[in-house]
């Protein structure tokens, strides 16, 4: 699998979430994702970036443009050094939230992408990696 390009963005404020959405959309357009695929990936990125800001006080997003056997894809890695998630199974459940949102972001983001991987250690931080293929 070849990595064609990478970029790292910091998420420290609500404005940065807007920026993440814009950059992800620009990359998806460049990779010639369909409008539906663009929207799904951008929405998933928006959810995960906001989670980092709300629950970990911020973090970073790394974008990677991938190519594998003629397939094109985008992979996003969200990394924070927040409190971590004690029970990932519970956090992934629809309607469960420790905040004031709908509790659909994490599960929703998973349903919007092709690959979803979450690693979290309480007290250390959380890393979520998603990928969507064209």
Partner 1 sequence: MTRDEKSRIPEILRKHEPELLKDWVQRQLAAAGGRPGQLSEAALREEASRFLSALREAVVGGQFRDIAGPAWSGVREVLGEISRDRAQHGFSPTETAMFVFSFKEALFARLRRELAADADALADETWAATTLLDRLGLYTIEIHQKSREEVIGRQQQEMLELSTPVVELWQGVLGLPLIGTLDSARTQIVMESLLQRIVETGATIAVIDITGVPTVDTLVAQHLLKTVAAARLMGADCIISGIRPQIAQTIVHLGVDLQNVITKATLADAFAIALQRTGFAVQRLPHRA
Selected binder of partner 1 within 58, 107, 119, 131 (CB under 8 A): 107
DSSP class of 11: E
105 lies in the site for partner 1, by CB under 8 A = yes
Shortest separation between residue 6's beta carbon and partner 1, angstroms: 23
Shortest separation between residue 62's beta carbon and partner 1, angstroms: 20
Pairing mode, if any, of strands 71-80 and 125-133? Answer: antiparallel
CA 59 to CA 104: how far, in whole Å?
Answer: 20
User: Which range touches partner 1 (CB under 8 A), out of 61-69, 84-92, 104-112, 122-130?
Assistant: 104-112
Which residue matches tokens 């990125």? Answer: 45
Pairing mode, if any, of strands 115-121 and 71-80? Answer: unpaired
Q: At what angle do helices 14-30 and 35-56 cross, to 10 degrees?
A: 150
39 lies in the site for partner 1, by CB under 8 A = yes
Phi, psi angle pair for 86, to nearest 5°: -70, -45
Q: Which is nearer to partner 1, 5 or 111 (CB)?
A: 111
Interface positions with partner 1 (CB under 8 A): 14, 18, 21, 25, 35-36, 38-40, 42-43, 46-47, 50, 94, 101-102, 104-105, 107-108, 111-112
């Amino acid at each position: 699998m070849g990595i064609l390009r990478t970029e790292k963005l910091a998420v420290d404020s609500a404005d940065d979430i807007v920026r993440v959405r814009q950059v992800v959309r620009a990359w998806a357009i460049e990779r010639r994702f369909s409008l539906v695929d663009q929207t799904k990936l951008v929405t998933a990125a928006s959810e995960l970036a906001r989670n980092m800001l709300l629950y970990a006080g911020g973090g970073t997003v790394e974008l990677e443009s991938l190519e594998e056997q003629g397939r094109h894809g985008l992979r996003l890695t969200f990394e924070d050094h927040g409190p971590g998630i004690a029970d990932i199974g519970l956090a992934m459940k629809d309607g469960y939230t420790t905040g004031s949102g709908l509790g659909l972001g994490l599960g929703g983001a998973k349903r919007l992408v092709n690959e979803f991987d979450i690693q979290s250690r309480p007290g250390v931080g959380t890393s979520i990696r998603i990928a969507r293929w064209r």
